[in-house]
Chains A and B, each alone.
Chain A
Amino acid sequence: EVEMTQSLATVSVSPGDRATLPCRASQRISINLAWYQQKPGQSPRLLIYGASIRATGVPARFSGSGSGTDFTLTISSLESEDFAVYYCQQYYEWPRTFGQGTKVEIK
């Protein structure tokens, strides 16, 4: 099983600032990685797939990068609606596995 590690449990950011969220896979997964946003009481929302491709309707301030084992989600200029928990997920193999999540909170 591919273990996904999100090393930052919480990131405190001011509105308008940049947030950088790391994610590491326990083995090489090429670009088979997706990112999701989850707000309290809601189901996850797809943001990024293929490590860097924004899903339909996702604002351009969200970007993904990386390949192999190390990946990053960047939110270039945080807006109030972006404060949420973000999960990375690998689809290189089954079982699908998710990171533990990084909470982006208001500084």
Chain B
Amino acid sequence: QVQLQESGPGLVKPAETLSLTCTLSGGSFSNGNSYWNWVRQPAGRGLEWIGHVKPSGTTRYNPSLKNRVTIWLDTSKNQFSLTVNSVTAEDTAMYFCARETYHYDNNGYYFFDSWGPGTLVAVSS
């Protein structure tokens, strides 16, 4: 069974870079039907998709984050990582890593079926 676990600093200073890692266990990044995502959730608010990396290394990001985001895969460590540059207080949130699976059964479906427990990141001086 796939398990995901986020890790990284819980406190980042304004204007600096937020860096998080997600470690995968019980599965492999080689499945071409899985995309590896970051999603965040400010306290008491909804979910915001940040971006994903495919097994090929191809990435896609949310335009709302204005080119501040990078996601990459390290298959040798069974990890994928996130950086967010030039952080402000608005980047304070719970950050989740999640797998999005593509499933075909007469129709094509995508869904986020595995999530890490999340890690809280605060931006403050």
Which residues of A are in contact with B by a Cβ distance under 8 Å? 1, 31-32, 34, 36, 42-46, 49-50, 53, 55, 87, 89, 91, 94-101
Contacts and interface: CB of A to CB of B under 8 A. Distances in A.
A98 B45 CA distance: 11
Contact of A43 (B62, B63, B96, B100): B96
15 contacts: A31-B107, A34-B110, A34-B111, A43-B116, A44-B47, A44-B112, A46-B112, A49-B110, A49-B111, A50-B107, A55-B113, A91-B100, A94-B60, A95-B49, A95-B62
B5 to A, nearest CB: 11
B46 A99 contact: yes
Contacts of A42: 117
Interface in B46-98: 46-49, 60, 62-64, 96, 98
B49 A43 contact: no
Contacts of B109: 32, 49-50, 53, 91
Contacts, number: 57
Contacts of B98: 43
A36 B64 CA distance: 23
Given A31-B107, A91-B110, A98-B47, A43 B60 contact: no
Q: How large is the interface on B (under 10, 10 to 19, 20 to 34, 35 or more residues)?
A: 20 to 34
Contacts of B46: 87, 98-101
Contacts of B47: 44, 87, 89, 98, 101
